[in-house]
C-alpha cells in the first residue's frame, strides 16, 4: 500500500506487517473497560481535540506475594487511540511485544524503544516515525500510574523539560518534537523553531540534542 503526499508527490510505503497490524490490531479496545478495576494501571497522552490521543490499560502479574521488580510481568496491555494507520500499527506491535511469550517484565518493557517497534514492523516512512512514539509515551504514563498505586515512588519516570533558549523559551522537548516532525540538522531545527539565532553560545547544545533525538528515533 503506497500513500502519496498530494503536496510533495512523495510516496510512503507500508510493509505487509504494518498493514496486518493496522487492519487487524492486537489488544485494541474499541470502548473503555466497564470495570477499570480489572486493570492495575491506566495512562493517557494527547487529546482527541487535536487528533493524537491514546489511552492504555495494563494488568501486572506478580510472581509472589512480595513485590519484586524482576517478577512484575505484563499480563495484559490494552489500548485505545485516535490516530493514523502508523500509530495504530505501531501500538498494536508494541502491545504484542510486551505481552508475547508470557509477558515482559515491567523493567524490560520500559527499555523498549520506538526503533525496536519499527524494526518489528519492517520499517515506517520517515514522516510517520513520530507516530510510533505515541505508544511509548502512553506506556510510560501507565507505568508511572502503576508505580504510584503500588508505592514505588522511586521508580517513577520524570520527563521534565529543560529550557535551551531563554530568549524564546524553547525547551529540549521542543527540539525533540522538531526532530520527530522531520528536522535532521541544526539548520532544519532552526528553520522550524528559530532556536539559537542570535545566541551562538547554545548552538553546540542544540546540535547535540538534534543528533541525540535523531539517533533515538531514526537509528
Distance between start and end Cα atoms, the chain: 24
Rounded to whole angstroms, the Cα distance separating 27 from 24 reads 10
Cα–Cα distance for residue pair 21/52, rounded to 1 Å:
18
Residue 44 corresponds to which cell in the numbers above? 493517557
- Tell me the CATH number of domain 163-218, given options 3.40.50.10310, 2.60.40.1180, 1.10.10.1100, 3.40.50.2300: 1.10.10.1100
**pLDDT averaged per 10 residues, the chain (length 219):** 50 83 93 85 72 87 70 94 87 96 95 91 81 88 92 84 88 87 90 91 96 86
Please report, for the chain, the start and end positions of each structural domain, with discontinuous segments joined by +. 2-155, 163-218
Q: Return the active site residues.
A: 50, 131
**Count of Cβ atoms closer than 10 Å to residue 86 Cβ:** 25
pLDDT (0 to 100) of residue 100: 96
pLDDT digits (tens, 9 = 90+) for 158-185: 777 889 998 888 889 889 888 887 889 9
Predicted confidence at residue 11, as pLDDT, reads 60
Identify which of 56, 55, 131, 61 has the alpha carbon closest to the alpha carbon of residue 89. 131
Distance CA(46)–CA(48), nearest Å, equals 7
Half-sphere exposure at residue 209, Cβ-oriented, CA atoms within 13 angstroms: 29
Confidence (pLDDT) at 44: 87
The pTM for the full model equals 0.74
Fold of the domain spanning 2-155: Sufe protein. Chain: A (3.90.1010)
pLDDT at 65: 61
**Nearest alpha-carbon partner for 76 in 53, 121, 106:** 106
Calculate the dihedral angle through the C-alpha atoms of 187, 161, 214, 129, rounding to the nearest 10 degrees: -110
DSSP notation for 45-102: EE-TTTS-EEEEEEEEEESSSS--GGGEEEEEEEEEEE--HHHHHHHHHHHHHHHGGG
Q: What is the pLDDT of residue 170?
A: 87
Amino acid at each position: 500500500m503506497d500513500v502519496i503526499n498530494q503536496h510533495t508527490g512523495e510516496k510512503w510505503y507500508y510493509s505487509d506487517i504494518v498493514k496486518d497490524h493496522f487492519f487487524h490490531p492486537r489488544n485494541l479496545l474499541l470502548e473503555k473497560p466497564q470495570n477499570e478495576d480489572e486493570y492495575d494501571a491506566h495512562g493517557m497522552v494527547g487529546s482527541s481535540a487535536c487528533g493524537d490521543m491514546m489511552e492504555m490499560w495494563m494488568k501486572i502479574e506478580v510472581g509472589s506475594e512480595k513485590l519484586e521488580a524482576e517478577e512484575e510481568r505484563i499480563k495484559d496491555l490494552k489500548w485505545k487511540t485516535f490516530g493514523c494507520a502508523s500509530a495504530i500499527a505501531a501500538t498494536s506491535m508494541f502491545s504484542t511485544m510486551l505481552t508475547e511469550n508470557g509477558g515482559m517484565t515491567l523493567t524490560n518493557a520500559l527499555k523498549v524503544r520506538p526503533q525496536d517497534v519499527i524494526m518489528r514492523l519492517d520499517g515506517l516512512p520517515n514522516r510517520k516515525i513520530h507516530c510510533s512514539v505515541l505508544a511509548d509515551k502512553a506506556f510510560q504514563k501507565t507505568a508511572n500510574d502503576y508505580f504510584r498505586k503500588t508505592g514505588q515512588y522511586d521508580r517513577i519516570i520524570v520527563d521534565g523539560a529543560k529550557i535551551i533558549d531563554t530568549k524564546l523559551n524553547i525547551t529540549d522537548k521542543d527540539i525533540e518534537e522538531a526532530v520527530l516532525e522531520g528536522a535532521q540538522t541544526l539548520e532544519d531545527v532552526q528553520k522550524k523553531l528559530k532556536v539559537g539565532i542570535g545566541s551562538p553560545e547554545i548552538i553546540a547544545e542544540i546540535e547535540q540534542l538534534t543528533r541525540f533525538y535523531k539517533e533515538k528515533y531514526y537509528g
